[in-house]
Chains A and B, each alone.
Chain A
Amino acid sequence: MGLPIAQVLAPDGRLVGEHDFTLDDLRGFHRDLVLARRIDTESFALQRHGELGLWPPMLGQEAAQIGSGRALQPADFVFPSYREHAVSWCRGIDPAKLLGMFRGTSLGGWDPAEYNYALPAIVIGAQTLHAVGYGIGTMLEGKSEAVVTYFGDGATSQGDTNEAFVWAASYNAPVVFFCQNNQYAISVPLERQTKVPIAQRAAGFGFEGVRVDGNDVLAVHQVTSQALRKARDGQGPTLIEAITYRMGAHTTSDDPSRYRDRHEGDDWAARDPLLRLRLHLSEIDSGFADFDEAVQAEAEQLGEHLREVCQNLPDPDLADLFAHVYAEEPDELIAQSQEVASWS
C-alpha cells in the first residue's frame, strides 16, 4: 500500500510537479528558508556560548515549517510542539521571543492571542488534544477557521495524539495534523513508533492522510493549503506527514553519533531544503545573486539581533512569579512571596 509522496521541486532543483507560485513567491520562500536557518543556527551557537541552557534545532526541517507556515491565514490557530521555530517566524513572532524559554528566564514568551500561536508544548503530543478542542470550539461558533497542530513521529505513539485522532474524526473537526516525520525521537528510529507510514494511520481513524516531501517547500505549501481549505470548508481533519530529516541532534544535550550513522546525514544533505530552491532560482531568476546577497546580509543582522537580545534578557524575580499562579492570589502565596522578597 503506497500513499504517494507529493513533490514539486526535486533535490536537484528541477520542477517535477505543477505550481502557480510567482517569482516573488519563490524569492519569498528563499528568504524565509535562509532566515529560518539562521535563527536556528544562531540559537544553537548561543547555547554553546553558554547563553542558552538548551536549544532544540530544526536544522533540515525548514521547508516543512515554512511551506506549511506560509499557507496559514492569520485567523488560523496553531498549536506547535517545541521545535517549530520557523512556523513562529511565519506567524510574525520576533524570533528573539523564542529564547527566554531556553535561556531559563521565562516559561513562555508571547501572548498566544496576539499571534494565534500557542506557547510551545514540551510534553509530547499534548498539543494535539488542545488543537482538537479549539477546532471543535470554532465549529460550535459556526466559524470557518482551521487549526493546525505540529508534532513529530514520536508523538504519534502517545495516547494523547491517538485520542486526538479519534476525536477529530468523530467531530469532523477542522484540524490539520501536521507531522514532521524527521525519522527520530531522540535516538529511537521511526520503525519503533510505527509499522506503516504515519499518514496511512489516518485511514484507520477514519480521515485522510497525505504524504509530502517535507524538504520541498513548494509541495508542502500546496498540500497544506489544500488541507486548510478542506478544514475551513467543513470537510474535516487531515493528517499530513512531511517526510524530512533532523539534521541536528534532538537538542544541544544530545549526541546523535551514539545512535546513527554519520553518512545518513550526508544522504539527507543532498536533499537539503535550501539547496534545491537555490539551484532552481539560480536557473530561472537572473537577479537571484543580488537578491541572495541581500538576504545573507539580512541573516547576519538577524543573527546579531538574536545575540543582542539573548545576552540582555533579564532574569525574573522569583517573588514576582507568585502573582501569576492564580487569577486571585491566595494569602498563603502572598506570604510566601514576601518570604522570598526578604532574601536578597
Chain B
Amino acid sequence: MELSIAKALNAGLRAAMEADPKVVLLGEDIGRLGGVFRVTDGLQKDFGEHRVMDTPLAESALVGASVGLTYRGFRPVVEIQFDGFVYPAYDQIVSQVARLRARSEGLVSVPMVIRIPFGGGIGAVEHHSESPEAQFVMTAGLKVVSPSNANDAYWMIQQAIAADDPIVFLEPKQRYWDSATITDEPALGLHESRVVRAGDDVTVLAYGPTVKTCLQAAEETEDSLEVIDLRTLSPLDLEPVYESVRRTGRAVVVHEAAKTLGLGAELAARITQECFYSLEAPVQRVTGYDLPYPPCRVEHDHLPSVERVLDAVDLAKEF
C-alpha cells in the first residue's frame, strides 16, 4: 500500500490508538479540522472527543497538562502545530518532561510523544520553517527522532508511542505529500540509522527533509555516494556511520538547521574521534546559514540544495 507521509502518520496514530486505549491526542485544531496538515483527519470522529482533543491555544499548557496526564497513566501524543510555536512549551519540555524520571530516580515515567512538523521549503511566513532539533537533542532526558519517508513515519510513530521515554517526533513538513510503500513489518527499531543508498566514495549523512535531497544528489553525480538516514538524533546510532567512513574516508553532513551548533558539529566531532586514522578530509557540513530563517522567496538559497551537497562532496575529495 502506498501512502503519503501525512496519511502514513494518520494510519500509524490510528493503529496506536486502537492498540492502547490509554493513547490520547492533544493539539490545536486536530479534532474537528483534522489538523492543519490533515495528519489527524477523521480520528476524532472515530475515537471521540475524549481521546482526540481540540485544546485552547496554549502550547505551554499543552505540554504541561500532558505531563499531568502521564502521571495518571495516559500516553499523550501532543501536536505542536508548527516548529516555530514550540518555544512557549520549551520550559515545560526541558524543565519537566525531560527531567521527571531523573528527578524521581526512575520512578516516574513520561511516555509522551511531542509531534512537531519541522523544516522549511513550503513557502511559508515566519515561524513556520524552523529546525530546532539541536535544542532538544542537547537536553538530557529527551529522545528525538525524525522519519524521512512514509514507511518510517508509519512504523516510527507507533514505536515512539509505545516507548516509555518522552520523544520529540520531528515530521518533515516539506515531505508530507511524498508517498512510499508501507511494509507489513517494521524493518528497523526506533533508534537505528539506515544506509538508504550504498556507495564507495563519500558518506553522506542526513535526516528528515534532507534525506531526499541527498538521494537526488547521489542520482545526479558520477561519484558513488553512500547516503545514510540517521532517523534517530538522540540517541544517535553511529556504528553504521563509522563503518561507512572507515571505508570511504570522507563524510558530508546535510541539515536545514543553521551551521553553528547544528547536529553536523556533533557528528563531525564523533566521526573525527572514532575514524581519525581513516579520514582523508575533514567532515564537511552543508547546512542552513547562521541566519534567522529568511523570507520564503529566497529560502531555497538558504536550504541545502543538490548543488551545494555535490559541491561539498567535491571539496571533500580535493583533500
Contact = CB atoms under 8 A, between A and B. Distances in A.
A–B touch (CB < 8 A): the answer is: yes
Interface stretch (A67-75, A102-110, A228-236, A268-276): A102-110
B294 A318 contact: yes
Interface stretch (A3-11, A28-36, A184-192, A208-216): A184-192
Contacts of A155: 57
A251 to B, nearest CB: 9
Given A54-B125, A188-B57, A193-B56, A325 B292 contact: yes
A135 interface: no
Given A54-B124, A101-B125, A160 B297 contact: no
Nearest to B127: A122
Given A54-B124, A104-B295, A185-B28, A159 B289 contact: no
Nearest to A155: B57
B36 A253 contact: yes
B212 interface: no
Given A193-B56, A325-B291, A259 B125 contact: no
B259 A336 contact: yes
A123 B125 CA distance: 11
Nearest to B287: A336
- SS class, residues of chain B in contact with chain A: loop
B74 interface: no
Interface string B22-41: 00000011011110100000
Contact of A157 (B56, B127, B298): B56
Contact of A102 (B60, B87, B125, B307): B125
B291 A321 contact: yes
Interface residues of A, number: 43
Contacts of B31: 187
Given A100-B295, A102-B125, A123-B127, A332 B260 contact: yes
Contacts of B60: 159
Given A103-B297, A106-B295, A336-B259, A158 B57 contact: yes
B181 interface: no
B58 A158 contact: yes
Nearest to B59: A158
B302 interface: yes
A332 B57 contact: no
A282 to B, nearest CB: 40
Given A107-B126, A123-B84, A188 B295 contact: no
Contacts of B126: 101, 107, 122
A317 B289 contact: no
Interface in B3-50: 28-29, 31-34, 36
Contacts of B55: 188, 192
A287 interface: no
Contact of A315 (B85, B290, B297): B297
A105 B297 contact: yes
A259 B32 contact: yes
A159 B295 contact: no
A272 to B, nearest CB: 25
B99 to A, nearest CB: 20
Interface residues of B, number: 39
B73 interface: no
Interface in B286-308: 289-292, 294-299, 301-302, 307-308
Nearest to A103: B297
Contacts of A253: 36
A316 B290 contact: no
Contacts of A315: 297-298
A258 interface: yes
A340 B301 contact: yes
Interface in A99-130: 100-107, 122-124
Contacts of B260: 332
Contacts of A322: 289, 291
Nearest to A160: B88
A16 B63 CA distance: 47
Interface string A251-292: 001100011000000000000000000000000000000000
A159 B58 contact: yes
Nearest to A339: B289
A192 B29 CA distance: 11
A192 B33 contact: no
Interface in B45-104: 54-58, 60-61, 84-85, 87-88
A8 to B, nearest CB: 31
Nearest to B53: A192
Contacts of A317: 298
B235 interface: no
A343 interface: yes
B46 to A, nearest CB: 16
A105 B291 CA distance: 15
14 contacts: A53-B125, A103-B297, A104-B299, A107-B295, A123-B84, A157-B57, A188-B32, A188-B57, A254-B36, A316-B294, A318-B294, A325-B290, A336-B290, A343-B307
Given A157-B56, A332-B290, A336-B289, 12 more contacts: A54-B125, A101-B295, A104-B124, A104-B295, A105-B297, A154-B57, A186-B29, A187-B54, A192-B56, A318-B291, A321-B298, A325-B290
Closest 7 CB pairs of A and B: A104-B296, A187-B33, A157-B56, A154-B57, A318-B301, A104-B297, A259-B32
Interface of A: 53-54, 82, 100-107, 122-124, 154-155, 157-160, 185-188, 192-193, 253-254, 258-259, 315-318, 321-322, 325, 332-333, 336-337, 340, 343
